[in-house]
Structure formats: structure tokens, C-alpha cells
Amino acid sequence: MIIQSATEFATAFAALPPPAHPATARAAFLVAPAGHALAAESATDNAYMRLDAQVDPGRALAQHQALAQALRADCPVISFPGDAATPDAIFPNNVFATTPGRLIIGRMRHAVRRAEAGRDDIRAFFRDVLGYAEVDLSQRSDLVAELTGALVIDRGRRIGYCGLSERCDLAGAAAMAEAFGLRFVFCFELAAGEYHTNVVLSLLAGRGVIIAADGFRDPAVPAAIALAYPDCVVQLTPAQKRAFAGNAITLNGQRVWMSQRAADALDDTQRQTLATAGFALGTPALDEIEKAGGSLRCCVAEIY
């Protein structure tokens, strides 16, 4: 079911049963940078990319390896090798996502990203090693669906929050709702210049939210989402959003992962809000990777 108004969302959320599914993933996978470079095609609708910046491939690889090692404190982490022909592949969560027993492959807007969906080694790992069924949206020319970039999921409640932009349309939202087996998806327009929901919204193990209100076209939307998670709400300023403080993830119930740059942008009150809710902070340095227009959450594909 697709919901498109804040009022309808509030009513539907209030009627939900208590969370009954795992709120965080059992493992994660990353795709390492290979000859790290910026994809000019992606920059046409990603204002966070820094095309004027010099990129250091060796430093990007070192930061990515440190990220993988850090995340292993919370769950098993697999790293697949990168491919210099697909420089945005370091952000695999847009292309690959899972529910228990199912691999979902997204339909990307840009050709440089659609090439990632054809990686047979990642498909084969889930199909032949884990025995997952495959739901392939990548060949659907009638929709755009950039998976957990566009769709932020409350896994425990099986509901989704989907920002509409060039990277996801209503048809894509409906296809993802079915693929992920969600009760409903709250769809809304992102503010002009925003490309992915997971830059302006993070759900924290189903019991908290980090949200940048200026990333939404209708201010009633972030207000309604914040009201749904009253025990832990971190409201971001525009500057904190630009530092990727909204691009965070929880891989267990006790820690929020965001980049060092993102964490440095938080104030003491926001840090205390997270601590009071039982969340420590994990903050690896990712400034070299962030030149490509994404941050820590974008690097992490979850395995449920």
C-alpha cells in the first residue's frame, strides 16, 4: 500500500502492531573502490558530489578497508572487489538489498550505475551460497527504484519511507514495497536538489530517527515521521545534513555508524539524545569517499 499524506501516515502508523521482526541486519557487504574516481553522469542529480576535488584512490581504498574492519565489531562483513568501470559501485545499497531469503536488484537511473546490477559474482553469492531467491527490477524500463538509497525501511515494523526524485518514482516505490514485503510505504517528494532519502533520513533500529527537515518538500512529512519515533529524534541543520549526518546506519541496537565528518558536525545535545537512547557512535573517517557524493550508509548493503 502506498501512502502519500502525513495525516494518512500518522493514522496508519498508529494502527501498526508492535515490531515483530529483526530491526537490524545479520550481516553486511561492501564493494571496495577500484581506481576511485567520480562518475560525472551521477553528478547531474547529486549535488553532494565534489567534481572540483582531487581524488586520491589509495586513500579512498584505505578508508574503505578501515570502514569494513570497524563495522565487523557489530556484524559479519563481506567485501567484494571493485571495478574501475563502475566508480559508483562503492555505494552498493542502491543496487542490491535483501529481505530474509531474497535478493532484490534495483533499477538505477544512470547507465553507469545500471552496469553494477549485472555483477554475476554478487548475484551468485546470494543465489548459490546463501540460497536466496532473486527479485530483479533492473530490467524494468517502466520505473526507477534505487532501493535503500530512495527507500528507508523500518524493518521491525515492515514499513518504508520513500522520497520521490529522479532516483525513484511512484512505480518504483510500489515495486519495492512488493519486493521487500512491506505493509505500507509512505511516499513524499524530496526537496529540490535532494537525490536520495537516506541522506536526509536515518532510522535507528526502529526506535529513533535522524532527520533533516529541509530535505523534504512538505514540512509536514518530517514532522510526522519525527512524531512516530518520539523517544529519540535528532533534528539536523542544513549544514549538518551537508556533512552527511543524516547518512547513518545501525547494525545492532547499540551503535549508530556515521562518518567522522558527520559526527563532528553534531552538537552536544544531539550526541546526548543518542546516548540517552542507548546508542554509541561509530565514526570512521570517510572524507575521501564522500567526495563521490555519498557517505557511510551508502557504502553498506545489508544482509537480512
**For the domain with range 2-16+25-303, which CATH number is right: 3.40.50.300, 3.40.605.10, 3.75.10.10, 3.40.30.10?**
3.75.10.10
The reported pLDDT for the residue numbered 207 is: 97
Residues 92-151: tens digit of each pLDDT: 999 999 999 999 999 998 787 888 999 999 999 999 999 999 999 999 999 999 999 999
Burial class (CB in 10 A: 0-12, 13-18, 19+), 262: buried
Cα dihedral: 162, 166, 168, 172 (round 10):
140
Query: What string of H, E and C letters represents the secondary structure of 202-217?
Result: EECCCCCEEECHHHEC
Q: What is the DSSP letter of 34?
A: S
Average pLDDT of the chain, as a whole number: 94
The reported pLDDT for the residue numbered 41 is: 54
Residues 208-228: tens digit of each pLDDT: 999 999 999 999 999 999 999
pLDDT class for 36, splitting at 50, 70, 90?
low
pLDDT class for 44, splitting at 50, 70, 90?
low
- Residues 4-10 have a mean pLDDT of 98
**DSSP-based three-state secondary structure for 245:** coil
The reported pLDDT for the residue numbered 34 is: 86
Q: Which comes out higher in pLDDT, residue 196 or 44? A: 196
265-284: b (≥16 Cβ within 10 Å) or e: bbeeebeebbeebebebbbb
- Say whether pLDDT at 52 is over 90: no
The reported pLDDT for the residue numbered 39 is: 56
CB 161 within 8 A of CB 152: yes
The reported pLDDT for the residue numbered 85 is: 82
- Say whether pLDDT at 195 is over 60: yes
Find cell 545500471 and name the residue: 114
| Of the candidates 24, 27, 33, 28, the residue with the CA atom closest to the CA atom of residue 290 | 33
Residues 263-281: tens digit of each pLDDT: 999 999 999 999 999 999 9
- Set of cell numbers at residue 258: 556515521
- Residues 186-210 have a mean pLDDT of 97
pLDDT class for 51, splitting at 50, 70, 90?
low
| Of the candidates 160, 233, 149, the residue with the CA atom closest to the CA atom of residue 198 | 149
